[in-house]
Every structure is written in C-alpha cells, then in structure tokens.
Amino acid sequence: MKSKILKELKNADDYISGQQLCERLGVSRTAVWKHIKALRAEGYEIDSVTNKGYKLMMEPDLLTKEEVASCLHTKWLGKDLYCYETMDSTNLEIRRLAEAGASHGTVAITEEQTMGKGRRGRSWLAEAGAGIAMSFLLKPQIEAQNSSMLTLVTALAVNEAICETTGIRAKIKWPNDIIVNGKKICGILTEMSLQMDEINYIVVGLGINVNIDHFPEDLSDKATSLQIEGGRKIKRAPLAAKVLECFEKYYDMFLKTEDLSMLQDEYNKLLVHTDQKIKVVRGSKEEIFLSRGINHRGELLVEDEDGKVSEVSSGEVSVRGILGYV
Amino acid sequence: MKSKILKELKNADDYISGQQLCERLGVSRTAVWKHIKALRAEGYEIDSVTNKGYKLMMEPDLLTKEEVASCLHTKWLGKDLYCYETMDSTNLEIRRLAEAGASHGTVAITEEQTMGKGRRGRSWLAEAGAGIAMSFLLKPQIEAQNSSMLTLVTALAVNEAICETTGIRAKIKWPNDIIVNGKKICGILTEMSLQMDEINYIVVGLGINVNIDHFPEDLSDKATSLQIEGGRKIKRAPLAAKVLECFEKYYDMFLKTEDLSMLQDEYNKLLVHTDQKIKVVRGSKEEIFLSRGINHRGELLVEDEDGKVSEVSSGEVSVRGILGYV
C-alpha cells in the first residue's frame, strides 16, 4: 500500500486530496496518513495543505521496494521484487532464491554489495547510494547453448535505459560491458544452472556506476559513472526500473528466434572497435584482428591479415582495444 | 564419536574391551557406554560380556551418517557428509548447500526421496530402506565443456562399486545408466552452475535400486534391483561408501588429462550395444546406426549405412537399443 500511495503521489501533477487517495486505493484516511508518515520518515518531503491534500516535493534517491515498484511498468519482470540495504552479491542472492523455488522474473536489488563479482572472478563492489547492483532470475525454455546471448540482450537493455533516463549515449564493448568515453560504466554477469543439457535457471546480474563523483587514481582511466559523464546526480530507482522494462522488450525479441537476428543491427550500431584493430586473448595467446561486429549468434566476427573472417565466442576469448583502455 | 566407536566395533574380529575403546578414542568409559546405548537404540545388536567387552552381532541396513562414515575410506569425498531420513531431492539439497557455501566433496544421502528427478525431468523416487539416493558437490578447475564427462566417470565408479560390493557384473548404457540383464539399476544426473564460461560448481546425483523385491508391472521389464539380480538383500552403507571411493579414483584419472583418455577402454568394455544397431533420437528425428563405443571426449561414435562414422554428444541425442528395452 505504501508503494501504491507513492505511485499516486508521483503521478499527480499537483496536490492530491486524501479523499481521492482513499477512493482510488480503497483504504481509510487513517491508513493513508499512516503511510504518508512512514514515507516522510524515509526521507520523502510530502507537503500537506488543508483542503488541497498531499504533494510530493522531493524524493530521496533510494532503491527501496516502494521506490522501485512505483516506477516499474513491466509485465512480468520484477513482480517479485527484493530490495536490500546490504547484500553479499545480488547474483548469489538470486541463486539462493532460485534454489528455494523463486519464480521466473524475480528481481533482487541492493544499495550496497560487499562480495560482488564480475567476469573471471574480478570483484564488482557497490557502495551504498552510489550505484545499482541488480540481478534477476530467468527460467527460459531455450537451448542451453543459446543462453550466452542473454548477456548481449541485457547490454542492449542497459544501454537504452541509460539513454532514456539520462540522455547519455553509451556504447557496448563486446560482449558485456557498457562504456562511455572509453571507460566502463556497467558490467553484466550471467550465471546458469544446468541439468545435464537442460536449463534449470539463468541469473543475469548487472552493476551500474551511478552517483560516484570520482574514482581512485588506478581506476579513473578505466571506470566512470553517470554522474561524472552527465554532470549531475541521477535518481537510481527509475533507472533500475527502466532497465527491467527495456530488458522485457529485448528479451521478447530474442525469444522469437532464440537468437539475435532481430537485435544484431542495433547491437552493432552501439559496438565499439568496429573496423578497428583489437587484441583477442585466448589463454596465453594474443592475436591482432580487425573487429567486424557480431553475427546473429552473438559471436564476434574477426578478420585476420589475409582478410579471412572467423568467429570468436565469449566463452573462449577476451577482447581488448588496441588504443585506450577498454 | 559414535561413528568412531562403530568403526572400531566393525573392524574388530572379536570382542573389544571398553578399556581398549577408551584408549584408542581418548574418551571415558561413561562416554563409550552412552554411545553403545545410542547405537543399540538405532537397531545395532551389540553384545557385551564382562571381562571381554563389546561385539557387534548385527547391523541394521541404515544410511545414517555413522553407518556411512564408518565404511568410508576416501581422501576428500564425503568428509562433509549429510544424511537424511527424507529429502525432496539430494541434487536439490546439494545445490542449496552449494549456494550456502558448502565445500568441494560435500555429500548428501537420503533414505527417502520425494521429488527426485532423472534426465529430462523424469521422476526418480526412492522409498525408505530400498535404495540409495546420493549426490555430491564438485568444484573442479576444469573447462565447462569438459564437465559432461563426469557423468561417464560416475558410471564407471558405480559399476565398480556394485561389482566389488555384490559381485554383480553390471553394464553401462551410454551415457549415464547402469543396467543389469538389460534393465536399469542406477541412473545418474549431473547438474552444473556456470558463471559466464566458468564453473561455479557441479552436482553429481545418483540413484541405485538396492533392496526392492519387485517392481510394478509397467516397470518390471525396464527396471531391476540388486536384490532381484543377486537374490539377497544388500547393505547399503558400504555400497554408498564404495561408490564414493571408486569415484575418487576415477576422478583423479579424469583430471590428469581432463578427458577420458585413461578411462575410455574400461568404459567401452562395459558398454552395451557395441557393434549393434541403435536408434539415435534427435528431437523428433530418429536414425539407425551401429554403435562403435565412446571416444576420449565421452562422445558416442556411430556408424551409418555407408560406413561413415560420426560422434554424438549426450546433450543432443537420446539413444535406444533396437532390441530389448534399454
């Protein structure tokens, strides 16, 4: 009910009367008042004027369930929504929830992440108030070998959500990083539980650097944040909700063909390094290729010196730009 | 301590004095007596004679922690051992334990399994006292694509454990069934949790039909038990412990090359249908081939009418014998 009242307050252009709130939500004046009081205690500034009603003057930047749910316009993703002040890792939490029977579309978000992980075990921490650490549970009826494409689907969703929410035009570094001005702003980590050849479930996790005003020296040429790039603080709950909304859209398009046929062109438009030299690292071996964008399976097409084009899949290689840091 | 006393009683050829037990295990006479009493309450018949000591006369057929641990001669597998009277599924339980941080080598065994699953979601239930439902947790440093071979490694281990414990010579139906006289006696189900391309953990689960004296009519031509085939009841704890012991041995050999190079010949000797016609089912398509045994990657080599040999992997096909039911 608290999140419903918050949603009404956010959607109202002006003051909304207590009576209207009661009628729309089917609760008593006392209940409305109780929830208004609770919202104020969480940091919401709500003006109340006799004969006019309530108006939301200022919202705190919180990733609470009320805040995220009040922005959420999805069909199925995030209907089960868990928001935490602190958590070891949202991917781990979704895996635990999955093992306890959680449904397709369950979402976990945390203000602070103490044991977050990126690819190859690199750490991806989140400080309270500064970022979005979010994971969601998928139980798709797809072939296991097609699941790695979901990382690319997520990259598209994050990119679009960032653009719509902040106006910042980010790029994608294949397969799973979102970058702005050559620096990383978001990482995506997909995990999967398999039974022989069949998918039990998939966990998609992502971390976005939002309101961080500077990075330590050793990171400042590799990482950036939406605040640094946009020059202003960004409300995180609407951004998190928009990522989920965009994911639903792109996921539907992925499911139609169980590949990236319908998303390949859009992904390639956002891809960095296209037609440029990249270094492909396979174990201890490094090779230089020209990057030629992804195919419909999400593999990166690379061209060697003799003009021969081959595919590399995200499992076997790591790719680095020759110039710059990404 | 109870399992240590049980182990001493089992290893003793004759009566063992209370004094000896105290000295070997470093506990008081009162403690020894307390544990003897507890063992008797569980169904162990322990004779005690003044001036001679204790002797184990009869052991109940239990899959308790004491019973399994007292038979276990492994280096790492089963050092963390969980035994349950009833459980939804030991694979699920190991997955839950894994998500809660359990170690490599953790084992879960249950007397009764209420939601057991075989491949492709087929149910695999276990009735209390009649079978072994056991799963274990592996956290290997191997390539994810090599993990499916662990199913074949497990088949070898179960086969050897059955032979050593009961004298029954079983066979293997590729990739993961143990059969006796053309009927299934054990199924193996491997599950895996992946982070992008890296293994979080692997769960190997198996179910063995042990002391079942008959099957319902619709199953009696497809399934059998060690009791039916051997004509006597089998103690389950030593068999479960032997499976773990054999698995350790074969797992070490697998790890040396990260494939089945060292195990391929042994596996092929046990394989049914070799040089016989089999039906390979790929989705809705069925084809007839001659089975030619596995290669070092655990793939089944099949020969078509023109003598052309190709490989099939367990993920993509299901194989049926042309004659008989397996």
DSSP secondary structure, B70-98, as one string: HH---SSTTSSEEEEEEES-HHHHHHHHH
Range of weakest confidence among A15-29, B114-128, B165-179: B114-128
Decide if A310 contacts A302 (C-beta within 8 A): yes
pLDDT (average), residues B222-238: 94
| Percentage of chain B exceeding pLDDT 90 | 67
> Which of B123, B194, B203 to mutate to test binding with chain A, by most A CBs within 10 Å of its CB?
B194
User: Is the sign of the CA dihedral B249, B252, B256, B260 positive or negative?
Assistant: positive
- pLDDT category of residue A325 using cuts at 50, 70 and 90: very low
User: With an 8 Å Cβ cutoff, is B90 touching chain A?
Assistant: no
User: With an 8 Å Cβ cutoff, is A99 touching chain B?
Assistant: yes
B141 marked as part of a ligand binding site: no
Cα-Cα-Cα-Cα torsion A222, A211, A74, A46, nearest 10 degrees, comes to 180
A236 vs B224: CA distance, rounded Å:
60
Q: Please count the other Cβ atoms lying within 10 Å of the Cβ belonging to residue A89.
A: 24
Per-residue pLDDT at A118: 60
What b/e sequence results for A127-158 when a residue is b if at least 16 CB atoms lie within 10 Å of its CB, and e otherwise? eebbbbbbbbbbebebebebbbbbbbbbbbbb
Per-residue pLDDT at B151: 94
**pLDDT tens digits, one per residue of A157-178:** 999 999 999 999 999 999 889 9
A185 vs A229: CA distance, rounded Å:
10
A71 vs A66: CA distance, rounded Å:
9
**Is the pLDDT higher at A136 or at A12?**
A136
**Is the pLDDT higher at A48 or at A326?**
A48
Count of pairs with CB atoms under 8 A, one residue in A, one in B: 70
Decide if A226 contacts A215 (C-beta within 8 A): no
Task: Choose the closest CB to A197 out of B99, B196, B315.
Answer: B315
Beta B81-87 vs B107-113: how paired, if at all?
A: parallel
Task: Choose the closest CB to A120 out of B92, B144, B198.
Answer: B198
Range of weakest confidence among A7-16, A50-59, A121-130, B166-175: A121-130
B130 vs B79: CA distance, rounded Å:
25
Task: Choose the closest CB to A198 out of B100, B120, B193.
Answer: B120
Decide if B161 contacts B170 (C-beta within 8 A): no
CB–CB of A92 and B99 under 8 A?
yes
Decide if A144 contacts A118 (C-beta within 8 A): no
Please state the length of chain A.
326
Chain B, residues 142-201, CB within 8 A of chain A, namely: 144, 148, 151, 176, 189-198, 200
CB–CB of A194 and B192 under 8 A?
yes
B139 vs B162: CA distance, rounded Å:
26
A236 vs A314: CA distance, rounded Å:
29
Q: Which residues of B touch A144 (CB under 8 A)?
A: 315
> Going from the N-terminus, what domains does chain A have, and what CATH number goes with each?
2-58 (1.10.10.10), 65-269 (3.30.930.10), 273-321 (2.30.30.100)
Q: Is the pLDDT of residue B316 over 70?
A: no
Nearest to B10 by CA among B49, B62, B74, B58: B58
Q: Please count the other Cβ atoms lying within 10 Å of the Cβ belonging to residue A30.
A: 10
B15 vs B18: CA distance, rounded Å:
10
B223 vs B247: CA distance, rounded Å:
24
Cα B87 off chain centre by: 17
- Minimum distance, in Å, between the CA of residue A275 and any CA atom of chain B: 26
Per-residue pLDDT at B324: 38
Chain A residue with minimum CA distance to B100: A96
Per-residue pLDDT at A284: 81
Task: Choose the closest CB to A99 out of B99, B121, B314.
Answer: B99
Q: Which residues of A touch B148 (CB under 8 A)?
A: 196-197
Distances (CA, A) of A191 to A206, A207, B198, B200: 11, 14, 9, 9
Q: Which residues of A touch B144 (CB under 8 A)?
A: 315
Strand partners, A94: none
